[in-house]
């Protein structure tokens, strides 16, 4: 039975009680408009913990574009229904802005991110990752979970959160769930509902390009791979913002596939005013 809580102090009391009983807590932070990708995270948490807590909070401090914040889909009752009947989560924490930022939204936004926040997404969305780190840190302060669940689709995001966990000595373990895709390969995202049916179908080009790049990475050099990808993605109405091939740990661009053990291709593509991100691991010695 799903319990919905809007208030941090109420949630803290319940969590204390779980702790006294020695229960293991898994936490899935979201901004709502839940889709199968989120449900996979919940499933993973349920498999690995006694209690699964999901948060839904559209965090204003991570939106660099006010129109994106305004248009972000908000579907709380549908989400509650999904968490209750399909995902069987235990607790939904759905706070308002004052509950998360009692001292105002400027507080605690200066967490050091080791420079991982400036490239790719960070260079196109200034301040975005400071906002993400700020809210995740605050949510972890409230929930204090054993395990935190995030999706691989937001590659830079989970890399930054992992860095933050270590640098702030937060004892929570990050668990990353592989990208969940629509039938045509488009990575699941809450923003996909804003696409017209035709474009949503044709957006398979992003996954197809990443797959082709992975295949060609055996024969082409990095610069040729990037040029190939950009040319393939640059077909109106699609407009690639970047296509980068980076070291999976440092997120710095690589110039040679042989010198790195963990390499990821990451991209952001604009279409119909929606920004779609995706990535694919090209090489991993892990």
Q: Which residues are catalytic?
A: 38
CA 225, CA 214: separation in Å to the nearest integer?
Answer: 9
By CB under 6 A, residue 29 contacts ligand PAF: yes
- Provide the 8-state DSSP code for 108: T
| Cα separation, 226 vs 209, whole angstroms | 10
Q: Is the Cβ–Cβ distance between 143 and 15 less than 8 Å?
A: yes
Nearer to ligand PAF, 57 or 205 (CB): 57
Q: Give the Å distances, CA to CA, from 195 to 121, 267, 272, 277.
A: 21, 18, 7, 14
Residue 236: partners with Cβ closer than 8 Å, 6 or more residues away: none
Q: Please work out the total of residues on this chain that contact ligand PAF, with binding judged by CB under 6 A.
A: 10
- Verify binding: residue 30, ligand PAF, rule CB under 6 A: yes
Residue with Cβ nearer ligand PAF (52 or 59): 59
Query: Which of 15, 31, 180, 266 forms a contact with ligand PAF (CB under 6 A)?
Result: 31
- Interface with ligand PAF includes 130 (CB under 6 A)? no
Find the binding residues for ligand PAF in span 44-73 (CB under 6 A).
59, 62
For ligand PAF, which is the closer residue by CB, 49 or 157? 157
Question: Among residues 31 and 271, whose Cβ is nearest to ligand PAF?
Answer: 31
Q: Does 264 bind ligand PAF (CB under 6 A)?
A: no
Write down the least CB distance from residue 128 to ligand PAF, Å. Answer: 9
Q: What per-residue string of b and e applies to 196-225 under the rule 16 or more CB within 10 Å gives b?
A: eeebbebbebbbebbeebbeebeeeebeeb
Instruction: Report the distance separating Cα 147 and Cα 185, nearest Å.
Output: 28
CB of 162 to ligand PAF, least distance (A): 12
Q: Whose Cβ is closer to ligand PAF: residue 26's or residue 29's?
A: 29
Least gap, CB of 142 to ligand PAF (angstroms): 13
Is-contact 30 56, C-beta < 8 A? yes
- Residue selected from 83, 132, 180, 277 as contacting ligand PAF according to rule CB under 6 A: 132
How far is residue 235's CA from residue 153's CA, in Å, rounded to a whole number?
Answer: 23
What are the structure tokens assigned to 159, written together? 């890399």
- What's the closest the beta carbon of residue 96 comes to ligand PAF, in angstroms? 14
DSSP label at residue 175? E
Interface with ligand PAF by CB under 6 A: which range of 29-37, 179-187, 245-253, 269-277?
29-37
Q: Is 256 exposed, middle or buried (0-12, 13-18, 19+ CB in 10 A)?
A: exposed
Q: Is the peptide bond before 246 cis (omega within 30 degrees of 0)?
A: no
Piece of the chain touching ligand PAF by CB under 6 A; list 27-35, 216-224, 262-270, 275-283: 27-35
Q: Where does this chain bind ligand PAF (CB under 6 A)?
A: 29-31, 59, 62, 132, 135-136, 154, 157
């Amino acid at each position: 039975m799903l319990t919905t809580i809007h208030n941090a102090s109420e949630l803290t009391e319940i969590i204390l009680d779980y702790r006294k009983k020695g229960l293991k807590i898994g936490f899935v932070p979201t901004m709502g408009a839940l889709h199968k990708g989120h449900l996979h995270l919940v499933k993973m948490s349920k498999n690995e913990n006694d209690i699964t807590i999901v948060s839904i909070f559209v965090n204003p401090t991570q939106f660099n574009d006010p129109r994106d914040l305004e248009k972000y889909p908000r579907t709380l009752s549908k989400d509650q229904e999904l968490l209750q009947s399909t995902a069987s989560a235990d607790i939904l924490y759905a706070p308002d802005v004052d509950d998360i930022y009692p001292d105002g939204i400027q507080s605690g936004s200066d967490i050091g991110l080791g420079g991982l926040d400036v490239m790719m997404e960070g260079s196109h969305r200034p301040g975005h990752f400071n906002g993400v780190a700020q809210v995740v840190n605050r949510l972890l302060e409230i929930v204090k979970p054993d395990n935190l669940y995030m999706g691989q689709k937001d590659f830079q995001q989970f890399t930054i959160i992992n860095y933050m966990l270590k640098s702030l000595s937060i004892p929570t373990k990050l668990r990353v769930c592989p990208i969940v895709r629509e039938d045509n390969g488009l990575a699941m995202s809450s923003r996909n509902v804003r696409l017209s049916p035709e474009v949503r179908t044709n957006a398979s080009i992003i996954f197809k390009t990443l797959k082709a790049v992975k295949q060609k990475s055996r024969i082409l050099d990095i610069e040729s791979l990037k040029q190939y990808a950009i040319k393939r993605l640059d077909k109106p109405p699609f407009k690639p913002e970047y296509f980068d091939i980076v070291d999976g740990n440092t997120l710095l661009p690589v110039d040679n596939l042989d010198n790195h053990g963990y390499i990821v291709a990451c991209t952001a593509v604009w279409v119909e005013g929606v920004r779609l991100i995706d990535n694919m691991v090209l090489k991993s010695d892990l």
